Amino acid sequence: MLKAYIILAGVFMAGVLSTLAARHVWALGPAAKETAARQIELRVTDNQICKVEHVVDGDTVVLENGIHIRYRGVNAPETGYFLHDPAPWGMEAAARNRELLEGKMVRVSLGDPPMDAYGRVIARLYVPGKDQTPEVDVEAQLLREGLARVLPLGQRAAELDALHAAEEEARTKKSGLWSLSDDEPARRAQFTYACTANSRVFHKLGSGCAAARNISSAQFKGFTNLEEAVLTGRHLCSQCIQLQIKKSGKPAPEKVIDEAPMPDE
């Protein structure tokens, strides 16, 4: 008899708990709907038309839905966000990018693959034309004005040829970045890292590394940031790493290991 009462009590409590749970879910219905309405879907498809909400710098923008787009064909000079001072023409590149895109609708052409090693969406952006005028290729425009350099990030061969042609146009006219090329100190001042043309190792300029100081003008190959250097398949000099650790005042690890070199270009 006692066992029967226990079973009945268990069934009763299960029913009560189920009813309370159902009422709780019902009560949360409007709130759940309101929360869903405030959600933003962070996705973009190839050739989708989107609005540019904010321009970060010369090669990065934020779409209206919050997605950061890193240009897949060019690399613009740094504006100083991660550096103490902006690189030459960095502020001009950001301003021109802002003029071309901020607040405007664009066509997003995703890279192949559409994300880079840092998890960022990489794409080329085109401003649709009006009154039968052709759309504006933003990357090609920045290259023609000497406000960026070609960076083969998720590019197809035909697209890369067109970007190199736009870059060569600016180089020939000595526009923007290329106006500094005749002045060796100014030319080197544009870059944060450098190497000799045939080396698998690159160096941090201004680190105190003797190898960085001794790169000849004829062999000098510069990079505006770490990402650009690593994408060429090179790795950072161990001496530069040690000097940076010493300069920062932090204790050095027992052993500093270079980043594993990637395959040749």
Q: Taking residues 129-147, report their average pLDDT.
A: 91
The region of weakest confidence among 25-34, 189-198, 223-232, 251-260 is 251-260
Instruction: Give the confidence band of 126 by pLDDT, cuts at 50, 70, 90.
Output: very high
Identify the active-site residue in 78, 92, 145, 228.
Answer: 78
CA distance 52 to 195: 36
Instruction: Give the confidence band of 156 by pLDDT, cuts at 50, 70, 90.
Output: confident
Instruction: Give the confidence band of 28 by pLDDT, cuts at 50, 70, 90.
Output: low
Identify the active-site residue in 72, 96, 120, 144.
Answer: 120
Residue with tokens 């240009």: 71
Average pLDDT of the residues of the chain = 77
Better-scored residue on pLDDT, 85 or 205: 205
Positive/negative CA dihedral, 76, 77, 82, 86: negative
Instruction: Give the confidence band of 22 by pLDDT, cuts at 50, 70, 90.
Output: very low
> Is residue 120 annotated as a catalytic residue, yes or no?
yes
Reduced to 3 states (helix: H, G, I; strand: E, B; else coil), residue 146 is coil
How many whole angstroms from its chain centre is CA 250? Answer: 28
Q: Taking residues 56-67, report their average pLDDT.
A: 92
Q: Taking residues 13-29, report their average pLDDT.
A: 49
For residue 157, report the phi and psi dihedrals to the nearest 5 degrees: -60, -45
Query: What dihedral do alpha carbons 175, 178, 180, 186 form, nearest 10°?
Result: 140
Instruction: Give the confidence band of 254 by pLDDT, cuts at 50, 70, 90.
Output: very low
CA distance 59 to 147: 10
Cβ-count burial 63-90 (b if 16+ within 10 Å, e if not): beeebebbbbbbbbbbbeeeeeebbbbb
CA distance 111 to 142: 18
List the chain domain ranges.
Answer: 48-178, 191-248
For residue 16, the model assigns a pLDDT of: 44
Q: Taking residues 20-29, report their average pLDDT.
A: 49
Q: Report the share of the chain in percent with pLDDT over 90.
A: 31
Instruction: Give the confidence band of 256 by pLDDT, cuts at 50, 70, 90.
Output: very low
> Is residue 124 annotated as a catalytic residue, yes or no?
no
Better-scored residue on pLDDT, 49 or 189: 49
Contact 138, 100 (CB under 8 A): yes
CATH architecture, range 48-178: Beta Barrel (2.40)
Q: Which residues, in sequence order, are bridge partners of residue 221?
A: 195
pTM (predicted TM-score): 0.59
Q: Is residue 197 over pLDDT 70? A: yes
> Is residue 102 annotated as a catalytic residue, yes or no?
no
The region of weakest confidence among 3-17, 58-72, 93-107 is 3-17
Positive/negative CA dihedral, 117, 139, 69, 81: positive
Q: Is residue 253 over pLDDT 90? A: no
Q: Taking residues 84-98, report their average pLDDT.
A: 82
